[in-house]
Structure 1
Amino acid sequence: MNDAAAPTRPRVGVMDRMINSIEWLAAMFVGIVALNIFLAVVLRKFFNTSIPDSYDFGRMLLGILIFWGIAATSYRGGHITVDLVWTAAGPRMKRWIDVFATLVLLFVVAVQTAMLFDKVRGTYVDNVLTYDMNIPTWPFYAVAWLGDVSAVVLIAIRTYRLIFHPELLEETKPEMKADE
């Protein structure tokens, strides 16, 4: 068989597997939050009952979802941006703006991660429990914190790739969105 005719697949490295895993986890948390809401509504509407601690679970799962969502959007750069200066800049200046903005984001999210760890520790030390079933809340905060840690890791990978391997970033540029 001719090897030249075989399709070539892009090599998936450790960083790409980590990025994909974090994005899948974020997607799973969206499903878990939706399932919790769906079950709570169905049980309340048709069976006149509720899941014990449904409100607490929903509140904490939403926090988890937010931090894992930050992780998922931080690497791709798909979040809402205002880029009037970036659009007017040349290619070299655009790259410097991207590197600077990503470094600022890395700093802010790293500080946020440190503060969130303090919240995890505080809920553990204070033995904060849910209302109905007295379940400790610190594991929920810890999972949210892991989402923030994941955001720091993904932003660090993005920064590394922006500086040393910009061709590895799959980004949708504003100009491309306008053409669609």
Structure 2
Amino acid sequence: MDRLIDLIEMIAAAFVGIVALNTFAAIVMRKFFAVTIPDYYDFGRLLLGILIFWGIAATSYRGSHITVDLVWASAPPRYQRWIDVFATSVLLFVVTVQTATLFDKVLATYRDNILTYDLRLPNWPFFAIAWVGDAAAVFLIAIRTYRLIFHPEEIHDAKIKTTE
């Protein structure tokens, strides 16, 4: 299971590199060679969308996303764990609904045959890759919720305490 989790995190990291490379290449080509990469802007925004959804998957499992821990920090360890369970359960619900809605968007983009501006490439494969990242987020959040409830010692968070 941990290998699959690491693979999902590596895919998210790869998309960070792809977005950065796309931006860097476009700037270098425009600045030094006066050449614009066709569909640079479309690729940039579509890849950024993919990056966001795969990033949700990577950060949600590790609990490394932005949190407000005012109540959590002042609670005893036993209550900290239940706050984490509640918060992760809410996150699981929200991301599951988001994944269902994004799937509808993938289908609509496919049916409407939305294309990029210059190269006339279909947008739906980019939306589909983003949806897979969102589905991976649901999977990882479900694993995190299960581990928080039944095996808190398996969570990779530094803040999770297994004492009660």
**What TM-score, normalized by structure 1, do the two folds share?**
0.87
For structure 1, the 5+ residue unaligned runs are 1-14, 175-180
Asked whether 1:16 is paired with 2:16, we answer no
Runs of 4+ off more than 4 Å:
none
Correspondent of 2:41 among 55, 62, 66: 55
RMSD: 1.0
Structure 1 position 83, deviation (Å): 1.3
Asked whether 1:33 is paired with 2:19, we answer yes
Partners of 1:141 and 1:109 lie apart in 2 by 16
Contact preservation (8 Å) 1:78, 1:172 = no
Within-5 A mapping of 1:1-180: 15-173=1-159
Structure 1 position 145, deviation (Å): 0.6
For structure 2, the 5+ residue unaligned runs are none
Deviations 1:19-38 (A, max 9, x none): 10000000000000011001
Indicate the residue corresponding to 1:3 in structure 2. none
Partners of 1:85 and 1:49 lie apart in 2 by 53
Partners of 1:80 and 1:172 lie apart in 2 by 15
SS, match of residue 138 in structure 2: helix
Count of residue pairs the alignment pairs up: 160
Question: Which residue identity lines up with residue 22 of structure 1 in the other structure?
Answer: I
User: Which protein is bigger by CA-based radius of gyration?
Assistant: 1
**What TM-score, normalized by structure 2, do the two folds share?**
0.95
SS, match of residue 128 in structure 1: coil
Partners of 2:34 and 2:60 lie apart in 1 by 41
Structure 1 position 50, deviation (Å): 1.2
Partners of 1:172 and 1:165 lie apart in 2 by 15
SS, match of residue 130 in structure 1: coil
Structure 1 position 172, deviation (Å): 2.5
Question: Which residue identity lines up with residue 48 of structure 1 in the other structure?
Answer: A
